[in-house]
């Protein structure tokens, strides 16, 4: 009988918001339900016993004598069932709350990363389109070549636009397309030397992370000077991490092009969010050398 009544008790616990309902109202509700439950339990017990056994003439007196004891027993059962159901329901609600929080954190994390990536692409496009605009007046053939290279770069970028993670080889392929665009602008003044360990090609790497750094190296190395610049890109594995170095020479005596720092700051913030560390990016400036180092672990926050 109490097992069937337990369904109603479970429903009561389920619909009762212990945090929002006033304490007095909650107590009154449970007192009423407890009283009804005990009456049904005691009455049903009497009816069942009368159907399956012979009731002695003095049974009503026995009922009166044991009423208080059975009432206390029924009350204890009620309290125990409410407590167990409350713990089960609270545990379920806690897990649901944790899952919702995790989903919200994941959505926030993804939206922040997408916002940072969306800032990088317009930043690059703005510079590229400015260059094309200038070349249409001075060298239309080069402007056409740059438009073709830009379309190839954007086509490649769109293939991986929805992917948070790429690989080192994919990033290097995208970087080559970007450098083809810049070489149209700067010609032999821009030279790139790569020292990449071939076995690292499948190392997971956040998408669109190398191009802004190389763009930053070009800005520091070529702007406001007529000399050529060598950009060195090196990738090695050390102590379970992928170490990437992007290094360029610059003329400290020249007044350098001033930018907003969007590319470097966005890469730094993206790596902090993806890997959960603050030392993924290191910037070094020594004499005429400007260097950006990346420390990429093999695991990231999913």
- Considering the domain architecture, whether residues 57 and 197 belong to the same structural domain is answered as no
Based on the domain organization, do 237 and 164 belong to the same domain?
yes
User: Are residues 91 and 176 both part of a single domain?
Assistant: no
Both 237 and 285 in one domain: the answer is yes
Domain stops at, among 51, 69, 99: 99
Residue 104 lies in a domain: no
| Domain shared by 149 and 212, yes or no | yes
73 and 157 inside one domain:
no
pLDDT in tens, 54-86: 555 555 555 555 556 666 766 777 777 777 777
Largest distance between two CA atoms of the chain: 119
Residues 90 and 179 in one domain: no
253 and 144 inside one domain: yes
Is 250 part of a structural domain of the chain? yes
Q: Pick from 201, 223, 62: which is nearest to 130 by CA?
A: 223
Q: What is the pLDDT of residue 149?
A: 84
Which of 227, 220, 293 is closest to 256 using CA atoms? 220
pLDDT at residue 139, rounded to an integer? 84
Q: Are residues 31 and 94 in the same domain?
A: yes
Buried-exposed string 161-190: b where 16+ CB fall within 10 A, e elsewhere: eeebebbbebbbebbebbbbbbbbbbeebb
| Residue 159 and residue 78 share a domain | no
Domain annotation covers residue 122? no
| Low-confidence residues of the chain: pLDDT under 70 | 1-26, 29-30, 38-71, 73-74, 103-124, 160-162, 224, 252-262, 301-302
- With respect to residue 271, please indicate whether it lies within any of the assigned structural domains: yes
pLDDT attached to residue 270: 83
Question: Do 191 and 275 reside in the same domain of the chain?
Answer: yes
Query: Which residue, 72, 99, 126, sits at the end of a domain?
Result: 99
**Is residue 127, in this structure, part of any structural domain at all?**
no
In a domain, 26, yes or no: yes
Is residue 120 situated within a structural domain? no
Q: Which domain holds residue 164?
A: 139-296
Report pLDDT digits (tens) over 277-288.
888 999 998 878
Q: Looking at residue 237, what is its pLDDT? A: 93
The CATH number of residue 229's host domain is: 3.30.565.10
Per the structure, the count of domains in the chain is: 2
Domain shared by 63 and 144, yes or no: no
106 domain-assigned:
no
Report d(CA 7, CA 111) in Å as an integer.
Answer: 44
Domain final residue pick, 99, 131, 155: 99
- Alpha helices by DSSP H, listed for 139-277, are 140-159, 168-186, 211-222, 262-275
């Amino acid at each position: 009988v109490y097992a069937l009544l337990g369904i109603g008790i479970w429903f009561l616990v389920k619909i009762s918001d212990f945090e929002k309902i006033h304490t007095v109202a909650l107590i009154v509700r449970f007192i009423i339900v407890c009283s009804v439950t005990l009456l049904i339990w005691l009455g049903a017990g009497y009816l069942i016993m009368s159907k399956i056994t012979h009731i002695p003439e003095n049974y009503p007196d026995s009922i009166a004598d044991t009423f208080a004891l059975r009432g206390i027993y029924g009350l204890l059962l009620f309290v125990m069932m409410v407590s167990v159901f409350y713990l089960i329901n609270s545990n379920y609600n806690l897990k649901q709350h944790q899952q919702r929080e995790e989903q919200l954190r994941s959505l926030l994390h993804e939206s922040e990363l997408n916002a940072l990536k969306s800032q990088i692409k317009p930043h690059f496009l703005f510079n590229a389109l400015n260059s094309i605009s200038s070349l249409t007046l001075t060298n239309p053939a080069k402007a056409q070549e740059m438009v073709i290279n830009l379309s190839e770069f954007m086509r490649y970028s769109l293939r991986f636009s929805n992917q948070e993670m790429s690989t080192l080889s994919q990033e290097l392929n995208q970087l080559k397309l970007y450098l083809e665009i810049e070489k149209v602008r700067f010609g032999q003044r821009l030279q790139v030397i790569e020292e990449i360990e071939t076995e690292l090609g499948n190392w997971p790497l956040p998408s669109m992370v190398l191009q802004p750094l190389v763009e930053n190296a070009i800005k520091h190395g070529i702007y406001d000077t007529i000399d050529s610049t060598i950009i060195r890109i090196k990738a090695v594995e050390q102590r379970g991490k992928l170490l990437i170095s992007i290094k360029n020479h610059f003329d400290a005596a020249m007044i350098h092009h001033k930018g907003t720092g969007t590319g470097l700051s966005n890469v730094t913030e993206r790596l902090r969010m993806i890997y959960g560390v603050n030392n993924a990016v290191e910037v070094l400036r020594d004499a005429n050398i400007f260097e950006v180092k990346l420390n990429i672990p093999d695991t990231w926050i999913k």
